[in-house]
Amino acid sequence: MVVRVKDNQPTLHAALAGLCAAGCPFDSYETVDRGRHGRQEHRRVEVFDTAGQLDAPWQALVSCVARVSRLTYVKDTRSGLWPTREEVGYYPCQARHGAKVLGAAPSVRTGASRVCCRRTRKGVHDELTDRVDKLRER
């Protein structure tokens, strides 16, 4: 399962951001998408190992984290200029994958907050969702 951690999970978000800032990625991958209706998106996916670096409840659920940096140019049709938007997202993953595999996941490509990988069986997905919900209640 690949899940984007947003600001509504401040403790986990801060832990993942700190882990990525302090560590060195074990894999990275860059893409440029120029054919998106007046937008150009430059995306960099960096994958970091989380072994022994997260709190105990999260360590059992997360084996790696992908930091996705997006630089998007949006064409302004009136002025002809290309203003930019920058975004950084953190995507913990239960299985260790390379940057190219994680970068191809629908949630990482689109910025969606919660998408299950096709390889994950429904029962495993439900169990992990329940465990994450219980951790959120704490």
Task: Tell me the H-state helices in the chain.
Answer: 10-22, 56-59, 99-103, 106-110, 122-137
Q: Where are the domains of the chain?
A: 2-137
pTM above 0.75, yes or no: no
**Distance between CA 128 and CA 51 in Å, rounded?**
19
What tens digit of pLDDT does each residue of 104-128 get?
A: 776 565 554 443 344 444 444 455 5
Q: C-alpha distances in angstroms, 97 versus 92, 94, 106?
A: 11, 9, 15
What tens digit of pLDDT does each residue of 8-51 get?
A: 889 889 999 999 999 899 999 998 888 767 888 899 999 999 88
DSSP string over 18-37: HHHHHS--SEEEEEEE--SS
What tens digit of pLDDT does each residue of 49-83 get?
A: 988 888 888 888 888 999 999 999 988 889 988 89
